[in-house]
C-alpha cells in the first residue's frame, strides 16, 4: 500500500497509539514481574487452581517460547504460558495466567463473543492479508469489482478486531474476580494486576482503531478515484 495523505492523517496516529500501548504493557509487566505475590504460587499453579475451581478438567497447561506470548487455544483446549509467566510467582505472571484462564472458562461456558470470534478467524485471516492488496490493485486499475471485494474482505478483519474487545475485557474482568474470590492475591496485589491487564487491553483497542483507520483510508481512496 503506497503512502498518501490519508495514511498520514488516519493510520499514523493509530500506529502511534499502538506503540504507546505496547510501551505501557511492557512497562507494567516489567514492573509487576519484579513483585512476588504474598501467596507465592506460580502462573501455572494459578491457572490450574482456577480451572479446578471452575470444574474444568480437560484443559492442558503448557509452557511456550517467547515473551508475552501467552494464549488459550480453544481448538486443542490448551493454555500456553510464556516462560516469564509459567513458573513465576510474580503479580504480573499471576494476572496474565488468570486472564488466559478466563478465556478457557469463556470457552467452557460457550461465551457468545468468543464463539463468534473463533468462527471469524478464517475470514479475518483472509481479509487482513488479501483485502488491502485487492483494494489497492482495484484503485490503481480503476476496477470497481476488485475495490469492493477488497474492502468487503478487509471489513471481516475489522469486525474480528472489534469482536476481540469484549472477549478480552471479559477475560480480564473474570481474572480479577477469580483472583479475589479464591484469595490468590491481596487487595494491593490486585491493583497491580488491574494495571497490567488495563495496559494490555489498550493494545487491543489500538489494534481495532488501526484496522478502522486502514479501512476508512481504503474507502476514501476508492471514492477519490471515482471522482
Over the stretch 70-82, which tens digit does the pLDDT of each residue have? 999 999 999 999 9
pLDDT score recorded for residue 58: 97
H helices present in 110-186, as ranges: 112-141, 144-181
Per-residue buried b or exposed e for 195-209, using 16+ beta carbons within 10 Å of the residue's own CB = bbbebbbbbbbbbbb
Strand partners of residue 80: 62, 71
pLDDT score recorded for residue 225: 73
Alpha-carbon distance 55 to 72, whole Å? 17
pLDDT score recorded for residue 3: 54
pLDDT score recorded for residue 226: 66
Q: Per-domain residue ranges for the chain?
A: 5-226
Alpha-carbon distance 213 to 197, whole Å? 25
Which of 39, 54, 31 has its CA nearest to residue 111? Answer: 54
- Tens-digit pLDDT profile for the chain (227 aa)? 445 889 999 999 999 999 999 999 999 999 999 999 999 999 999 999 999 999 999 999 999 999 899 999 999 999 999 999 999 999 999 999 999 999 999 999 999 999 999 999 999 999 999 999 999 999 999 999 999 999 999 999 999 999 999 999 999 999 999 999 999 999 899 999 999 999 999 999 999 999 999 999 999 999 887 66
pLDDT score recorded for residue 1: 43
Active-site residue numbers? 100
Strand partners of residue 82: 64
The contacts of residue 158 (CB under 8 Å, 6+ apart) are 127, 208, 211, 212, 215
pLDDT score recorded for residue 224: 83
pLDDT score recorded for residue 124: 96
The contacts of residue 19 (CB under 8 Å, 6+ apart) are none
Q: Which three cell numbers stand for residue 107?
A: 470457552
Radius of gyration of the chain (CA): 20
Q: Tell me the pTM.
A: 0.92
pLDDT score recorded for residue 113: 97
Using an 8 Å Cβ cutoff, are 126 and 75 in contact? no
pLDDT score recorded for residue 207: 96
Amino acid at each position: 500500500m503506497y503512502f498518501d495523505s490519508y495514511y498520514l492523517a488516519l493510520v499514523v496516529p493509530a500506529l502511534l497509539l499502538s506503540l504507546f500501548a505496547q510501551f505501557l504493557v511492557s512497562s507494567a509487566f516489567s514492573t509487576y514481574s519484579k513483585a512476588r505475590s504474598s501467596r507465592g504460587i506460580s502462573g501455572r499453579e494459578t491457572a490450574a487452581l482456577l480451572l479446578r475451581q471452575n470444574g474444568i478438567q480437560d484443559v492442558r497447561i503448557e509452557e511456550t517460547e517467547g515473551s508475552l506470548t501467552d494464549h488459550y487455544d480453544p481448538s486443542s483446549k490448551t493454555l500456553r504460558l510464556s516462560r516469564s509467566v509459567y513458573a513465576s510467582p510474580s503479580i504480573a505472571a499471576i494476572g496474565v495466567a488468570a486472564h488466559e484462564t478466563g478465556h478457557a472458562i469463556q470457552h467452557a461456558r460457550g461465551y457468545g463473543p468468543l464463539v463468534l470470534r473463533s468462527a471469524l478467524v478464517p475470514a479475518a485471516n483472509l481479509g487482513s492479508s488479501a483485502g488491502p492488496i485487492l483494494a489497492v490493485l482495484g484503485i490503481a486499475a480503476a476496477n470497481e469489482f476488485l475495490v469492493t471485494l477488497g474492502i468487503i474482505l478487509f471489513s471481516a478483519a475489522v469486525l474480528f478486531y472489534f469482536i476481540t474487545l469484549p472477549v478480552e475485557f471479559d477475560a480480564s474482568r473474570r481474572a480479577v474476580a477469580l483472583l479475589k474470590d479464591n484469595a490468590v492475591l491481596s487487595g494491593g496485589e490486585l491493583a497491580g494486576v488491574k494495571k497490567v491487564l488495563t495496559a494490555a487491553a489498550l493494545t487491543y483497542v489500538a489494534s481495532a482503531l488501526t484496522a478502522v483507520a486502514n479501512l476508512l483510508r481504503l474507502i476514501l481512496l476508492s471514492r477519490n478515484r471515482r471522482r
